[in-house]
Structure 1
Amino acid sequence: MAAWLPDTLFEIVGQGPAPSKDYYQLVVTRSQLIFRWWKISLRSEYRSAKPGETKETHEDFLENSHLQVQIALIFGTRILDYVFNLCEGKVDFLERLTDKLLLKIIFYLDLEDIARLSQVSHRFAKLCRSDMLWELIVQSTFDTITPEMRSLAKDLGWRQMFFTNKLQLQRQLRKKKQKQGRQEEQF
């Protein structure tokens, strides 16, 4: 499984907590953790400070509580937990899939399963509500999709269009045609 992983598993950059202006980078590769910092200050004692770098194996990082505290202060505990898991070899392969591929997988789920999946994380909630997914679902549900239906979906959204019953859809399409007819008469 590790052969499927890229060399860089995770990378994040950020600024230290206020009032610090220092800049930090954290890179987790397959074999090591790299922590870099740049001092940014107007004070004369820090002007000549050179950038710093610490490289540690995953095992050494898991025992280095000082570095763990620094990462938690700069990037937050969520990032620290994620990096800790990576260093322990707990890689979330599902998280590494592209949105496009995940949408193709989600498309095959039942509606109840899509609703449950949307509660798993912010990423899955966004994917489960995306117009791309619901356009695929609507296209597989309806025999044909007219240009008027596409136009209505652009206004309403594909998800709303899917959950609107056919009678309401026909009414909305009729209203849209009437509105377009009136606009064309005005010009």
Structure 2
Amino acid sequence: MASLLQDSLCEISLQAPPPSKDYYHLKVSKEEVVLRVWKVTNPCKNARALPGEDRKSHRELLVDNQMQGTIKRVFGPETLEYIVNLCQQHYDYLVRLPESLIICILSFLSWEDVKSISRTCTRLQQVCNSDGFWEQAERVRCGTGSAPLEGLSPAIQQKLLVFRRRRALLNKSRQQRRKSTTGYF
């Protein structure tokens, strides 16, 4: 599982909450946490603030209340909790798996569980909305044919119908391309 971990475990950039106009960048690697800040100053005051950078090892961050407070204020308490978990080596391996493996795992879940897991993070939402997932889901749950959709929630029914229509249009365009490339003249 350790091979799934890339050097960068988490990277977030955003503007600080009002009234501040400063920009922050937080990067968590396997070894350290780097917090960069770009202070936005009033140009009329002729005061130039240079970008700042604070580097801490995971162990140092866990005891540094000031840096934790800054992360909490700028990025929110949920992000601070996530960063602290990463520093304590509580990694989220599921989102780091290859997409094909995630799709395979999701194919064993119920539709309601897929709906719930797609709301947990951007990566899983992208996988749950991908054509690869819906192709696998249709194959596993509905077979290869045009199986009835009774018993499924309206949202799932709509996604399957959209996927089927998109697949039919794609097949039709491929057939037309084949006809045009083989030609009759």
1:96 is aligned to 96
Q: 1:160 to 1:3 in 2, by over 3 A?
A: closer
How far, CA to CA, are the matches of 1:143 and 1:36 in structure 2?
51
Letter of the 1:20 partner, please give it. S
How far, CA to CA, are the matches of 2:109 and 2:86 in structure 1?
32
Deviations 1:8-33 (CA, angstroms, capped at 9, x unpaired): 11110111110111011111111111
Given that 2:22 and 2:39 are in contact with CA atoms closer than 8 Å, whether structure 1 keeps it comes out as yes
Q: What is the SS of the residue equivalent to 2:90?
A: coil
Deviations 1:90-127 (CA, angstroms, capped at 9, x unpaired): 111012224443123212x153xx42343346145675
Report how far residue 157 of structure 1 moved.
3.3
Report how far residue 84 of structure 1 moved.
0.3
Given that 2:12 and 2:25 are in contact with CA atoms closer than 8 Å, whether structure 1 keeps it comes out as yes
Report how far residue 139 of structure 1 moved.
3.5
Structure 1 residue 76 and structure 2 residue 76: aligned? yes
1:157 is aligned to 159
Q: 1:4 to 1:103 in 2, by over 3 A?
A: closer
Report how far residue 142 of structure 1 moved.
3.5
Q: 1:51 to 1:143 in 2, by over 3 A?
A: closer
Given that 2:41 and 2:48 are in contact with CA atoms closer than 8 Å, whether structure 1 keeps it comes out as no
For 1:97-116, list aligned pairs within 5 A.
Answer: 97-107=97-107, 109=108, 111=110, 114-116=111-113
Q: 1:117 to 1:48 in 2, by over 3 A?
A: same
Structure 1 residue 119 and structure 2 residue 116: aligned? yes
How far, CA to CA, are the matches of 1:119 and 1:137 in structure 2?
16
2:7 is aligned to 7
Given that 2:103 and 2:136 are in contact with CA atoms closer than 8 Å, whether structure 1 keeps it comes out as no
How far, CA to CA, are the matches of 1:126 and 1:115 in structure 2?
17
Q: 1:4 to 1:106 in 2, by over 3 A?
A: closer
1:170 is aligned to none
Q: 1:161 to 1:75 in 2, by over 3 A?
A: closer
| Greater share of residues in helix | 1
Given that 2:39 and 2:49 are in contact with CA atoms closer than 8 Å, whether structure 1 keeps it comes out as yes
The structure with the largest alpha-carbon Rg is 1
1:21 is aligned to 21
Q: 1:139 to 1:65 in 2, by over 3 A?
A: same
TM-score (norm: length of structure 2): 0.67
Letter of the 1:116 partner, please give it. D
How far, CA to CA, are the matches of 2:69 and 2:84 in structure 1?
12
Given that 2:13 and 2:24 are in contact with CA atoms closer than 8 Å, whether structure 1 keeps it comes out as yes
Q: 1:82 to 1:65 in 2, by over 3 A?
A: same
Percent identity (aligned): 31
CA RMSD of aligned residues (A): 3.0
How far, CA to CA, are the matches of 1:6 and 1:139 in structure 2?
32
1:57 is aligned to 57
TM-score (norm: length of structure 1): 0.66
